[in-house]
Amino acid sequence: MLQKPKGTYDVYGSYGIKILYLENLLHALMEKYHYEYVRTPIFEASELFHRGVGETTDIVSKETYDFVDRGDRNMTLRPEGTAGVVRSYIENKMYGNPSQPVKTWYIGPMYRYERPQSGRFREFYQFGVEVFGSEDPMIDAEVISIPVNFYRMLGLKEIKVNINSLGDQESRNAYRAALLEHFKPHLDALCEDCKTRYLKNPLRILDCKVDHDLECMKNAPKISDYLNETSRHHFEKVQHYLDALNIPYQVNPNVVRGLDYYTHTVFEVEANVQGFGSQNVLCGGGRYNHLVENIGGPSTPGVGFALGFERLLTALEFEQIELEKEHLDLYVIPMEEAVKSYAFALTQDLRMNGFSVDMDYMNRNLKGNFKQADRLNASYVIIIGTTEMENDILTIKNNQTQEEYKVKHEELISFLDEHIEEEHNE
RNA sequence: GCGUGGUUGGUGAAGUGGUUAACACGGUGGAUUGUGGUUCCAUUAUGCGUGGGUUCGAUUCCCACAUCGCGCCCCA
């Protein structure tokens, strides 16, 4: 038996209904926020993902899906959305748009060569947002508000917003130096991973789960003490605007995010779901004022975030939140061979009039057909026998109340408009 | 990449070195119920992840591989 590749999954059945529901919800939400849709290639020149990300590059490249195409070009399946959108922003000269800032959203599959784990796949779907061209802290708050509102709409109650500021380049460098200085005498006490982090990415030591309780972790220097005037001011404004939106948050100095390109605001949204394990961060993002420049564009500030679908759906499951159910307006039952084409044509006609309609294709008996109608969660059932066909009068039954009606064929649409409209309004 | 536990039908699963792979749900057909959602009957895996080995014989033992789960690394 051929199997799907490791770390991938098929979408079908009820999972498909959920995914489409989430996507439609996000689509509608983005229209309200007035962001524009962008779609970039699933593969890009490898170089794109290896630039602007700083010194963790060697690690990052090991976790991407790389391949050489027939023209000997090094290509990489995108591991995230930001780089591609930034590339597109530069290449299409969106910085020249008369309308600024440029606010974009995207949705699609991403690829990382990692060991699959709970809520983590090699092919996974992300939704994200990137805003270019404004340094206003209000934009930071707006971007944070998007996942918060989205999760609220879904009914996730136990969410926690953690924010932090890494400051501008100057602040960040000063802080980094202070961290190195602080941990130097304690190096022996740190775990092996943290020793590596000390060399590669000292900020991430603060994130460590193993050394969490060490004394030298607790009294480590705080980024807030190293923010210069501009950075401090920006961060205060972000909080001010979040307050204005009534979004609860927590300033958490340990939120540092993985990559080096972040400046000023960084944030994560966690789900505090029972039994959800270590993978409880639902989304993350921040401001990147130098990324566009690093990738070869004009100096342009940016803010963005991304959220994963897989982990979100796991969280919704844990919280037992039900999304859309399968629903059908009408189920058509032909009672015998002779009326099948009549029933078939009726089905088609009703579909073109805006109803969701299905019918029996299995030659089931009446009992089996009612069962099928229940399975499909049909609101109404139309039973067609020879009598119905000859008189052109249809037997239609409300599947919940079991009320039965006889309706002339030509009056069917207005009958349904009336009755099914009611259902939708309930 | 490292460690660890799984892999039996449409689903949840029990089980054993030797030909009936339990039970439940679901599916289909039939009977009964005035046109279904009740009850009853029948039927539903020549098959136990893949490949090799041990054996007279393996779904059951051993090895390898694949894959899923959990933890670690990493998390853009």
The neighbouring-strand residues paired with A334 are A384
ipTM: 0.83
Token digits of residue A28: 């509608």
**Distance from CA(A380) to C1'(B44), angstroms, rounded:** 31
Q: In angstroms, rounded to a whole number, what is the distance separating the alpha carbons of residues A77 and A63? A: 11
**Distance from CA(A417) to C1'(B49), angstroms, rounded:** 51
The model carries a pTM of 0.90
Residues 226-265 of A with CB under 7 A from strand B: 257-259
CATH 3.40.50.800 fits A328-425, yes or no: yes
Q: Is the CB of A161 under 7 A from strand B?
A: no
Confidence class for position A64, pLDDT limits 50, 70, 90: confident
Confidence class for position A58, pLDDT limits 50, 70, 90: very low
| pLDDT at res. A16 | 86
Residues 21-60 of A with CB under 7 A from strand B: 49, 53, 56, 59-60
Q: In angstroms, rounded to a whole number, what is the distance separating the alpha carbons of residues A287 and A335? A: 64
What tens digit of pLDDT does each residue of A329-383 get?
999 999 888 899 999 999 999 999 999 999 999 888 899 999 999 888 899 999 9
Q: In angstroms, rounded to a whole number, what is the distance separating the alpha carbons of residues A165 and A252? A: 9
Q: In the CATH hierarchy, which fold is given to the domain comprising A13-168+228-318? A: BirA Bifunctional Protein; domain 2 (3.30.930)
As a whole number of Å, the end-to-end CA separation of chain A is 47
Strand B bases near protein CB (under 7 Å) are: 1-3, 27-30, 32-33, 35-37, 49-50, 66-76
Averaged pLDDT, A295-307: 95
Q: Is the peptide bond before A101 cis (omega within 30 degrees of 0)?
A: yes
Residues 356-375 of A with CB under 7 A from strand B: 362-368, 370-375
The neighbouring-strand residues paired with A263 are A287
Q: What percent of chain A has pLDDT over 70?
A: 93
| pLDDT at res. A56 | 47
Confidence class for position A52, pLDDT limits 50, 70, 90: low
HEC readout, A304-322: EEEEEHHHHHHHHHHCCCC
- Among A6-15, A231-240, A373-382, A416-425, which is the least confidently predicted range? A416-425
Please tell me the total number of residues recorded for chain A in this structure.
426
Q: What percent of chain A has pLDDT over 90?
A: 53
Helix axes A137-154, A13-33, angle to 10 degrees: 150
Amino acid at A286: G
For residue A376, what is the DSSP state?
T
| Domain-wise residue ranges, chain A | 13-168+228-318, 328-425
Q: What are phi and psi of A275, to 5 degrees?
A: 75, 15
Q: In angstroms, rounded to a whole number, what is the distance separating the alpha carbons of residues A261 and A292? A: 10
